[in-house]
């Protein structure tokens, strides 16, 4: 059995090495990368191409104006490429470029078709507001709440992306799943500058789906009250890993951007 990783990235040179390093041990079949219209002078693609765990890098200069279509189309493309090298006994894991694997036991892949991991958001706080995205790992505060998000999928079942803005693969009725491991999601905790770019992208470029929500988040990168976007107190990541803080599960919700 082998595990093939797939990831879609866009201008993520500041974090991609750390992301790939974290998933490399799990991805025994290598990692397949799709660079979606990166315009950072080849920095993101160069990191992907030179990483020892990466098996293939596909790059495109097309910025599809229909971003909901682009989300599933590009993921489907890199998925189909990886599946060429997979057999029924193998697994696919999809992760985003700003998601770092913190804890995972391959034994959890036994007797199931999908494994979901605990996903925690990282936040910017007053004490680290001036830390740049090149030094993102210095941030300590994360959400107390997490969500169980699907990551690992068995090649025994049909695997496809086909719906607008699709991030999670639909499984056939009766599929078995397990809950195991931890991921630290950095999308909200890279830097103030990247937060503002993210707000601009989702409020002005992506389309109407998230526009209102992200428009309201402009200027809100720093959590002055040390509370998450869902109103719960932030906690130290070291305490989450040590199991010394209460865990609040947002299970059943879709992946929140």
pLDDT in tens, the chain (257 residues): 999 999 999 999 999 999 999 999 999 999 999 999 999 999 999 999 999 999 999 999 999 999 999 999 999 999 999 999 999 999 999 999 999 999 999 999 999 999 999 999 999 999 999 999 999 999 999 999 999 999 999 999 999 999 999 999 999 999 999 999 999 999 999 999 999 999 999 999 999 999 999 999 999 999 999 999 989 999 999 999 999 998 889 865 444 44
pLDDT of 252 reads 52
Tell me if 193 sits within 8 A of 222, measured CB to CB. Answer: no
Q: How many CA atoms lie within 13 A of 116 on its CB side?
A: 24
pLDDT of 187 reads 96
Q: How far apart are CA 46 and CA 41, in angstroms?
A: 9
Query: Which residues, including other chains, have CB under 8 Å from residue 179's CB and lie 6 or more apart?
Result: 115, 116, 117, 118, 148
Tokens read off for 86: 């997979």
Helices assigned H by DSSP within 186-256:
192-200, 211-216, 237-242
Characterize 19-48 residue by residue with b for buried, 16 or more Cβ atoms within 10 angstroms of its Cβ, and e for exposed.
bbebbbebbebbbbbbbbebeeeeebbebb
Q: How far apart are CA 257 and CA 185, in angstroms?
A: 10
Only one residue has tokens 């995972």, namely 104
Instruction: Give me the residue spans of the domains in the chain.
Output: 3-249
Which fold is adopted by the domain 3-249? Spore Coat Polysaccharide Biosynthesis Protein SpsA; Chain A (3.90.550)
Reported pTM: 0.95
């Amino acid at each position: 059995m082998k595990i093939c990783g797939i990831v879609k990235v866009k201008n993520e040179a500041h974090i991609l090495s750390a992301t790939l390093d974290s998933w490399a041990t799990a991805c025994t079949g290598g990692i397949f990368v799709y660079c979606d219209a990166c315009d950072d002078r080849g920095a993101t693609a160069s990191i992907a191409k030179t990483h020892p765990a990466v098996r293939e890098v596909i790059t495109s200069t097309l910025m599809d104006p229909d971003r909901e279509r682009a989300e599933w189309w590009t993921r489907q493309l890199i998925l189909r490429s990886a599946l060429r090298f997979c057999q029924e006994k193998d697994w696919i894991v999809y992760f985003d470029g700003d998601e770092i694997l913190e804890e995972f036991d391959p034994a959890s892949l036994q007797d199931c078709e999908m494994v979901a991991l605990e996903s925690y958001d990282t936040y910017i706080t007053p004490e680290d507001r001036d830390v740049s995205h090149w030094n993102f790992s210095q941030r300590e505060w994360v959400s107390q709440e997490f969500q169980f998000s699907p990551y690992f999928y068995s090649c025994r079942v049909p695997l496809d992306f086909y719906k607008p803005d699709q991030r999670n693969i639909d499984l056939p009725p009766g599929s078995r799943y397990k809950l195991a491991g931890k991921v630290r999601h950095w999308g909200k905790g890279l830097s103030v500058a990247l937060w503002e770019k993210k707000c601009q992208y989702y409020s002005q470029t992506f389309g109407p789906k998230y526009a209102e929500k992200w428009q309201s988040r402009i200027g809100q990168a720093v959590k002055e009250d040390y509370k998450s976007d869902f109103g719960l107190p932030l906690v130290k990541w070291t305490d989450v890993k040590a199991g010394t803080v209460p865990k609040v599960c947002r299970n059943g919700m879709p992946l929140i951007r």
